[in-house]
Structure 1
Amino acid sequence: MAVTIKDVAREAGVSTATVSKILNNKPYISESTTRRVMEVMKRLNYHPNAQASNFKCKRTGNIIYLAVTELNTAFHNPHMFEILCGAQNVIRNKNYNLSFMGVSDKQDAYDLAIKTVGCNTADGMLVHGSATSRLLVDFLVKNDFPHIIIGRPPFASPSSWIDTNNRVSGQMAMEYLEKCGYCQIAFIGGPRSDEISRHRLQGFVSYMNINGLAIQDDFIKYGTYTKESGYLMMEELLCQPTLPDAVICENNQIAMGAVRAIEKHLLSIPEDIGLITFDDYPLSQLIDPPLTVVDIDVHEMGRQAASILLQKIKNPSLQVQSFVTLPNLIIRSSTKNQN
């Protein structure tokens, strides 16, 4: 038998009205009471009934863009906001409001999704990869709530998602470096567990294998997405008996650290070591020398995500799982000219 709002109220020791107010995000409910009720909802696996809320029949005119935000998010992940701007350009022309909802972690994102569906405060949701979890995705799918996940979920799911093909990005970086005459190529990236870094590395390795090029295990380094980590990984490469003549850096921060290490060793970019990175952040052109980049049009990704979401609002049974916006190469002076 399905858990009801009365069951939650009884278990939490509050009235059904209090539970309803918490679901509707009403003021004057203490933080401790709210936390207790949410814990009971999670323990009882209670989800507000979307059909009972009749959200399909009542247009709110609101779409939520859900993402995890923290200090300096705009600096470390500016693509999040480029995607938002692309989506906004589509949504505003269809008489919808786009509400940005920044949460502290994936659990908060899941809790907000429960409130959104149960309280009928939005017609659809764009979920940034930073906020994606199996709990949240399963909940949206179970309730047939129109949504698009920005970035392919790292687990099997019938959810609707849109992404760029990061394996192709890795292949493109490797192919260009080979055309430039580089042959001892290293890859320094983020954590082993990171989906994007892993896919770009897979593209790099795939190109090497297909073209019969040797892969040196000690030319592949894992770290964090910081310039300090980039510096340390580059230092490790430069202290080896055989030096790379080019390095693929998984992001701009890592590339900044790599440049500092190369300069410390009095080596020249791109003559001694070429550098290529991904995503054309403003930093790409501020680093000396300006970085060659494999870029994706994330603004267009936001536009496409919003367009698909608007289709799903009209037809919630529509399922879309696709790669979009193929990467393009921006050539600057951190790599030698092609042969």
Structure 2
Amino acid sequence: MSKRVSIYTVAKEAGVSTATVSKIINNSGSISRETSDRVLEIIKKYNFVPQQRRQTGSAIGVVTFLLRQGPLMAPFTARLLNGACRQAFLAGRDLVLIDGERLAGLTPEELYCHYASNSLAGLLICNVAAENPFCTKLRKSGIPFILLANGSTDDSVNFVTTRNYEAVYELVDYMLCLGHRRIAYMGVLNRAVDSHRERLRAFYDIHNKHGIDPYPEYVLDLPDAEISTIKNALTRLFARLESPTALFIGGEELDKAYTLLPQLGIEVPARLSVAGLRLDDPLDSGVIEWSCITQPTERIGCVAAQKLLELAEGQCAYVREYLDNSLNYGNTVIRHEE
């Protein structure tokens, strides 16, 4: 951005007053759509940020799409935000939580104006896949952004995630090698976001390697992670005459499922071997020796915030970070013989 560009430059080129430009930047007052679009296009053209905003420093915006839960009610999202928050504060920046549903209807130009007028260094995006129309508009807007815990094969998308495919492939392979041929898979949003698609793909790929066709009725794609949803799904699953001998939890609901199984009369691991993904928890008592994949959830948020600032400051051209998960072979999975 040229240092000579000011609100007067924008106003003059748009043929409006500085007061009109100010109202558009701050999303206040009644301005026609035609005038607003013309001013926003010029603001984007010059990458203009109001002087008073620049002097206050830049914050990190976190855009979260709430789905059915509030952003802080979902433990996974809460840990991501905690990591991002710690890194932002260490860098002397604020963290701003933004409702994605409210931004979803904005044009790329309006998104850029929101970003500039709020003095944001860039955006961290939760719960959205790269192919979502919102991300397409973000790419067109030129706003620096990073997907949190979601990868992409698109080279134009920045992300920080974990190696979901490799970890799930290895743990399910372990279960198959122990003789399990009827493994159920329970996941949330299996086909809606990249991280969950990768987990499900790994589940199918390792079965194919062993020459086994997974039972379609054993793959549970749940709309949310509420206890009632999980309980109902498990009840139906184990009501089958030929029920699974093992269960893989493809979301971060391993603890939830484990606590529900005794209520259904299912003993782990005597009747059912259980493995899956867990959240990193520094307060974990270690009473249960899980067979599980532990994601460095807070570290994802921390690394993403750090990389976003580097991206915004021109220290790097792109961000495509894969973090390693921790894999543990515990006693919740045992050998099975037909």
Where on the TM-score scale, by shorter chain, does this alignment land: which range? 0.7 to 0.9
- Does structure 2 conserve the Cα–Cα contact (< 8 Å) formed by 1:65 and 1:84? no
- Taking the aligned partners of 1:217 and 1:240, their CA distance within structure 2 comes to 13
Cα deviations across residues 44-80 of structure 1 (Å, max 9, x unaligned)? 895462343534995752232322265543232x232
Deviates more, 1:62-71 or 1:184-193: 62-71
- Taking the aligned partners of 2:48 and 2:302, their CA distance within structure 1 comes to 28
Paired letter, 1:315: G
Q: Report what 2:229 is aligned to.
A: 229
Size of the aligned set, in residue pairs, is 320
Paired letter, 1:299: E
Distance change (3 Å), C-alpha of 1:226 and 1:173: farther
Q: Report what 1:84 is aligned to.
A: 81
Distance change (3 Å), C-alpha of 1:264 and 1:121: closer
Distance change (3 Å), C-alpha of 1:287 and 1:263: farther
Distance change (3 Å), C-alpha of 1:40 and 1:198: farther
- What is the Cα-based RMSD across aligned positions, in Å? 4.3
How do 1:1-339 residues align onto structure 2 when only pairs under 5 Å count?
17=19, 20-25=22-27, 29=29, 33=30, 47=41, 49-55=43-49, 58=54, 60-68=56-64, 70=66, 72-76=70-74, 78-94=75-91, 96-103=92-99, 105=101, 107-108=103-104, 110=106, 113-119=111-117, 121-130=119-128, 134-152=132-150, 156=154, 158-195=156-193, 196-224=195-223, 225-253=225-253, 256-257=256-257, 260=260, 262-280=261-279, 291-315=290-314, 318-322=317-321, 324-336=322-334
Paired letter, 2:48: N
- Does structure 2 conserve the Cα–Cα contact (< 8 Å) formed by 1:66 and 1:131? no
Cα deviations across residues 79-102 of structure 1 (Å, max 9, x unaligned)? 3232233334444444x3132223
Distance change (3 Å), C-alpha of 1:185 and 1:316: same
Partner-residue secondary structure (3-state), 2:186: strand
Unaligned runs of 5+ in 2: 1-9
Distance change (3 Å), C-alpha of 1:316 and 1:140: farther
Identical columns (%): 16
- Does structure 2 conserve the Cα–Cα contact (< 8 Å) formed by 1:190 and 1:197? yes
Partner-residue secondary structure (3-state), 1:233: helix
- Taking the aligned partners of 1:252 and 1:243, their CA distance within structure 2 comes to 23
Deviates more, 1:116-125 or 1:51-60: 51-60
Distance change (3 Å), C-alpha of 1:120 and 1:229: closer
Distance change (3 Å), C-alpha of 1:308 and 1:128: same
Cα deviations across residues 284-309 of structure 1 (Å, max 9, x unaligned)? 96999675431110222223222322
Higher helix share: 1
- Taking the aligned partners of 2:129 and 2:11, their CA distance within structure 1 comes to 26
Deviates more, 1:234-243 or 1:157-166: 157-166
Partner-residue secondary structure (3-state), 2:120: coil
- Does structure 2 conserve the Cα–Cα contact (< 8 Å) formed by 1:169 and 1:327? yes
TM-score scaled by length of structure 1: 0.74
Deviates more, 1:287-296 or 1:304-313: 287-296
The Cα shift of 1:272 comes to 0.6
- Does structure 1 conserve the Cα–Cα contact (< 8 Å) formed by 2:311 and 2:317? yes
Distance change (3 Å), C-alpha of 1:265 and 1:51: closer
- Does structure 2 conserve the Cα–Cα contact (< 8 Å) formed by 1:187 and 1:220? yes
The Cα shift of 1:240 comes to 1.9
